[in-house]
Amino acid sequence: MERRKISEAEVTLTFSMPDDIISVREGRKLLQKIIFSEAERKEMLIRIVVDLETPKKVVTVYRTSKIKKYRR
């Protein structure tokens, strides 16, 4: 998160209120949420890949401006 300059607040918001939950494969989900990035000064899509094994594990977190490409 630090390397990609994604705040803990953005990740927490995406976890608690995702816009979309997509099943990637068995045991893995993708959570995504549109946020307004102050740094970028535009809407961005936060995407979090989560492994649902116990305990849940975040595989990756990233931000993209390609909202239309990834939203369903």
pLDDT in tens, 55-72: 888 899 999 999 999 986
HSE-CB of 10 using CA atoms within 13 angstroms: 23
Where do the structural domains in the chain lie, given as residue ranges? 8-70
The model carries a pTM of 0.86
pLDDT in tens, 9-41: 999 999 899 999 999 989 999 999 999 988 778
- For every residue of 10-72, DSSP letters joined together read HHHHHHHS-SEEEEEETTEEEEEEEEEETTTTEEEEEEEEEE-SSSPEEEEEEEES-HHHH--
Question: Is the alpha carbon torsion for 53, 13, 72, 65 positive or negative?
Answer: negative
pLDDT at residue 1 greater than cutoff 80: no
pLDDT at residue 5 greater than cutoff 90: no
